[in-house]
Structure 1
Amino acid sequence: MDLSEFLLIFVCIQNFGLIDASDGDRSPFYQKCLKSCTSANCTKDGLSLSEKALKHQDVGSRLLRWGCKDECQYHCMWRTVLGFQERGYEIPKFHGKWPFVRLFGVQEPASAFASLLNLAVHVHMYREITSQFSVKTTPLVLFWHGFVVVCVHAWTWSTIFHTRDTPFTEFMDYACALSMVMALFVAAVVRVFHRRKKLTLGILLLPLLYYIEHVRYLYSGRIDYEYNMQVNVFFGVAGSLIWLVWSIIQYLGGRWYAWRMVAFTLLSGAALALELFDFPPKYHAWDAHALWHLSTAPLPVLFYRFVIEDLRFLQSSQFVEKDNLKLT
């Protein structure tokens, strides 16, 4: 190793801790505010609020366990934002994120609300499926029960993560988000090849094993966010293409209800485009990510309406097959 290589590695190591830093938290004003706030409001260990400061903390923040460091970062963040705006500068990010106004202790209220709305839609449509179809008499209905469980679990953790961002809630949000993307991919394969169980298992075995390995990687805490996004995009595009091609073929073959899956797939792709935008939150709450979650809330209605009609088709096909067997 020559001197130039050694110096390059040394500089990278020294600056590694600044990789996720942003203009806001790098500013001297923010750093000075943190020191002053910590000294005035924290206990000696710097973790808990002093008794005097605790009296001024709202109930929601207390229930969601906002510690002294969190409180100081939040209040100093907004003082820094005000300082930037007074000088005519753009609103800065802090630790890679835009500043969000906290509501009853909820860290990102708009994204949390939109996630909760998605969760409610999935639960509502699940009730329609369970009220209309029996596991014993309808093909694939048990699979759709499992699919809904995955989606409900994912949106629950999305709500929790946007309510309170911690290393564990971040891990659960990422792991569950990928589980929902992969569930849609798995559902496409299962629906297309459901009569050929060995082929279906053969196609899905490697992706399912990969998911387990990826979750283990996410749990390590050393997350490459770009790589994680690429994994989601790969399985999302793969599942969407399968659904799109199959649904178009079904629609042209006379199953008119397949238009719902075509519409769901195209609209989901259009909604995802919101993630490409990056702008300061409107009203300090609605950023591109929150708007993306809000735009996806109505889409499960299209999806589950397709599922319901498809289950009716499979149910009627099963009865026809039984009648034909009796005649023979």
Structure 2
Amino acid sequence: CSKDESDYGWYTTKIKINNSDLKNEEDKPAVRVASLGHAFHVWLNGEYLGNKHGSHDEKSRWSLSGACFYCFLCAKPSDAFPWVALHLQDVDITKTLDYLTAIAILGFSLIVSILRTFDVRVEAARVMVSPPVLAFVTSHIISMFTGWNMIVCVAMGVAQIFLWARWAAVSRHPSNWKLWVVVIASCLAMVLEIYDFPLRMKAHSIWHLATVPLTVLWWSFIRDNVEFRTSSLLKKSKT
């Protein structure tokens, strides 16, 4: 399909953006490049969790496999954000890689949200949940179509927001407020991504800027969650 037919990023809800307005105007480059840092920040902080709780100690009785799962969820955007920054150059290959990494991240995080929200602990049940999502994401990546990519990404994003909102509503986690902030702010940020209405910085640029504090807060919740679950399990093992 042609660029005019498929590339949703070249349009707003009411007006078509001219090529001169794309990617390299106002604060977009700075915002996108600034987004690179926070993905690496949350990835490298995984070392903190492992050392603090002894997951790097072979003699440790407790293994943070769940924490490693979350760490990978934060590490995967480290691959995506360089393509977001390179997308500034408007090259087809970097644009495609940007979209493909986005769908891969959303697919993996959807698996995490399902397993966490419904508290799926049985290994056989986990195996049944993951393959359908992975197959869907893989088939979508193989048959790349940008317009369809937008619909699928939004659908998976909305599904994750509802799943995490449900978990926050029924759980009594001490850091629930962080999750609620991420859920509500993600809804608002998604509006900026879908309806790219013109502002001083452009709505799409504001969306990129919003991902920085949201990811840091999200990682803060993940770290609190791992510490909370670890302390709970250690207390149970001592009783």
TM range (shorter): 0.7 to 0.9
The answer to whether structure 1 residue 178 and structure 2 residue 95 are counterparts is no
* CA-CA distance at 1:321 after TM superposition: 3.0
The answer to whether structure 1 residue 129 and structure 2 residue 46 are counterparts is yes
Mapping of residues 122-271 of structure 1, within 5 Å: 122-134=39-51, 135-136=55-56, 137-162=63-88, 164-192=89-117, 193-218=119-144, 223-225=145-147, 227-250=148-171, 253=172, 255-271=173-189
* CA-CA distance at 1:109 after TM superposition: 7.0
Whole-angstrom distance in 1 between the partners of 2:33 and 2:111: 24
* CA-CA distance at 1:279 after TM superposition: 4.5
**Counterpart residue identity of residue 226, structure 2:** L
Which one of the candidate residues 12, 16, 21 is aligned to 1:99?
21
- Contact kept? 1:114, 1:293, Cα under 8 Å: yes
User: In terms of Rg, which structure is larger?
Assistant: 1
Structure 2: gaps (5+ residues): 7-14, 57-62
- Cα gap change, 1:318/1:111 in structure 2, threshold over 3 Å: closer, same or farther? same
Greater mean alpha carbon deviation, residues 200-209 or residues 123-132: 123-132
* CA-CA distance at 1:213 after TM superposition: 0.8
**Counterpart residue identity of residue 130, structure 2:** L
Q: Deviations over 1:103-129 (max 9, x none)?
A: xxxx46733322332221222233333
Whole-angstrom distance in 1 between the partners of 2:3 and 2:90: 20
Structure 1: gaps (5+ residues): 1-15, 22-90, 102-106
* CA-CA distance at 1:100 after TM superposition: 4.1
- Cα gap change, 1:98/1:207 in structure 2, threshold over 3 Å: closer, same or farther? farther
**Equivalenced residues, count:** 221
- Cα gap change, 1:19/1:299 in structure 2, threshold over 3 Å: closer, same or farther? closer
- Cα gap change, 1:302/1:92 in structure 2, threshold over 3 Å: closer, same or farther? closer
TM-score, normalised to structure 1, is: 0.60
* CA-CA distance at 1:276 after TM superposition: 4.0
SS in 2 for 1:93: coil
Q: Deviations over 1:50-103 (max 9, x none)?
A: xxxxxxxxxxxxxxxxxxxxxxxxxxxxxxxxxxxxxxxxx9733xx56248xx
Whole-angstrom distance in 2 between the partners of 1:244 and 1:140: 20
* CA-CA distance at 1:157 after TM superposition: 1.0
Greater mean alpha carbon deviation, residues 290-299 or residues 126-135: 126-135
Structure with more contact order per residue of length (Cα contacts < 8 Å, sep ≥ 6)? 2
Residue in 2 that maps onto 1:60: none
Whole-angstrom distance in 2 between the partners of 1:114 and 1:123: 16
- Contact kept? 1:123, 1:152, Cα under 8 Å: yes
SS in 2 for 1:133: helix
Residue in 1 that maps onto 2:60: none
- Cα gap change, 1:199/1:272 in structure 2, threshold over 3 Å: closer, same or farther? same
**Counterpart residue identity of residue 214, structure 1:** H
Greater mean alpha carbon deviation, residues 305-314 or residues 198-207: 198-207
The answer to whether structure 1 residue 312 and structure 2 residue 227 are counterparts is yes
Cα RMSD (Å) = 2.6
* CA-CA distance at 1:175 after TM superposition: 0.5
* CA-CA distance at 1:313 after TM superposition: 1.3
The answer to whether structure 1 residue 293 and structure 2 residue 217 are counterparts is no
